[in-house]
Structure 1
Amino acid sequence: MPFRVSADAFHLAATEAFKLLPRELLEPLDNVQIFVEPRYELLPHEHPDTQLFGYYDGVALSERGIDEIGRLPDRIVLFQETFEEECEDWAGIVRELRITLVHEIAHHLGLSEERIHELGWG
């Protein structure tokens, strides 16, 4: 059974999860904003069982050049409904938010999926 929370409560859970992130992961963050969307809308080519917790949209730090100065912030987008569907309680939502934030921040840092999993962050 899904564990539903209000939008305000979900933002609070995301804030709690963010505070649990290791400092070495947060220090290099540059020009990133975190957004919450109610739900993920499947793309036509995606499998109907796709469960996306979030994604990173931007240019990884490892790929940036001097032409990146003045650009809009990168984005990490979190999908509230996925967390509610997959988690049984508040602690589960905070735990999954932390895992997702680590994963998406790792993409911001330029780490590949393979490296993220090697580090135990995926």
Structure 2
Amino acid sequence: MARTDQTGDWAKRFSPSLDEMESLTIEAFAHLPAKFRSLCGDIIIQVADFPEDQIVDDMGLETPFDLLGLFEGHGIGERFTMVTGEGPNRITLYRRAILDYWAEHEETLGDIVTHVLIHEIGHHFGLSDEDMEQIEANTD
């Protein structure tokens, strides 16, 4: 039996750039349930290739590929204790770690980005794993 070409348009595609990953992330955030997004206020969402060395050291990571995303700031229980000079809440997704994870699993890149966003937001706002699974199930 002859094999058919399964590459489609992948033969000429590159992995997503930082800008493309940021666009995918913004799109994923926009499709989260409105009530969940409202927890975030004026959160900054950004994409970097890897976490800074200080984060890798502070978290005791073996490699920078061990971290898909990071929330920095104040959770819902701490939102009124912000110290002057501290920045706003921020989520960083790490492109290279996400792409590595994507290559090893049977999930779409969009689903992985959505999952990371939900978990970075959810853990820092006191949501349980069950709550986050429900949010994922209700994401368009």
Q: Identify the TM-score tier after normalising by the shorter chain.
A: 0.7 to 0.9
Q: Any residues of structure 2 matched to 1:101-120 within 5 Å, and which?
A: 101-111=117-127, 115=128, 117-120=129-132
DSSP-derived class of the 1:77 partner: strand
| Inter-partner Cα distance in structure 1 for 2:40 and 2:73 | 12
- 1:27 alignment partner, one of 33, 38, 49: 38
Indicate if the aligned counterparts of 2:65 and 2:96 stay in contact, CA closer than 8 A: no
Indicate if the aligned counterparts of 1:57 and 1:74 stay in contact, CA closer than 8 A: yes
- 2:25 alignment partner, one of 14, 19, 30: 14
Uncovered stretches (5+) of structure 1, i.e. residues with no partner = none
Supply the AA of the counterpart residue of 2:96.
E
Structure 2 length as normaliser, TM-score? 0.66
Give RMSD over aligned pairs: 2.9
Aligned length: 114
Larger gyration radius, structure 1 or structure 2:
2
Instruction: Tell me how far 1:120 sits from its aligned partner.
Output: 4.4
DSSP-derived class of the 1:68 partner: coil
Supply the AA of the counterpart residue of 1:14.
T
DSSP-derived class of the 1:35 partner: strand
CA gap of 1:93–1:105, structure 2 versus 1, over 3 A, is same
Uncovered stretches (5+) of structure 2, i.e. residues with no partner = 1-13
Q: Give the structure 1 partner of residue 82 of structure 2.
A: 68
In the alignment, structure 1 residue 43 sits paired with structure 2 residue 31 = no
